Structure 1
């Protein structure tokens, strides 16, 4: 979570720096976002993926808190086991318990994987968007290069090419750091999911569930 906040702050610093360079005011970020589509291409999707990852981390923290506090009764497992014992002889009750536990953990694993997919997509998407912004920025810089190298080039012409290179740099930085942060969030969430499954397994193995 700290990494997500830090990266968001870093991106905000980039936006403020660009705003100061162009407008002379650090408070003109809204107009900067409205006039800089190359930065929006990477920054806005990054914000959405960061928000999603942050919500998933908070959700897992709540789940782990409930499991560690012993406030998860797994009522569904009790009901399934009671129903199974009424239908199948008691000699096979252990098999019923094992089948239910296996089904629960398969379902939990599929749920975890489904929640991870948007983050995995975000890692690749931010990398590609950062590369796209880099290519566009460099293309604009190359396109303006003849005008800058001409004898009648003005300071404004030089500022345009520097701005294009700035776009390429900003989108590259946001894309790389965004994908790196999401990769760390994915690893952290995977570890939390493993801990949650282990705690749930311990709860299901308690004698009062049998």
Structure 2
């Protein structure tokens, strides 16, 4: 489970970092295009400024020499106005492109800082995950140790229970044997009493017979 969570965290950070990299690359490409367009407009502006200066210089020379250009349908003021309009448009475009480039540069810096921050977050996250994995491994070892102790204690309790059961069985067997012994003893005592009474009866009977015989013997002698 911990490994799955770690993989998901690392995967999410990697996705965000990859997205930021792609945004930076896209902005860099746009900045490159914008810079190239700005350079083109700058060159056009420089060319227009040179042309304007050239036209102004040519107009001044013509005024000084009193010459007029033949075959030209456009007057010098109109040409100057057209060039100034072109310059104004070019300057506006250059200003817009410069602002756009500056904005994109700021975005690139912000995204670059974000990528750097994400890298630091990824590094810190990896360190924290490694620390947590080490802690989880330590806790797992402790859990395994506790489970082993529980298993040993359970086995000991089972043995104690078995011993207690055997002890109860022995007690029951002892009680049964004691009861049998007491019954046998009672029967033996009864038998002894019966035999004793019988012996006494026989002893008395023997004595009586002996006395009877002794008494009858003198009478018989006198008769003889």
TM-score range with shorter-chain normalisation?
0.3 to 0.5
Q: TM-score, normalised by structure 1?
A: 0.40
Kindly name which structure, 1 or 2, has the bigger radius of gyration based on alpha carbons: 2
Q: Which has the higher helix share?
A: 2
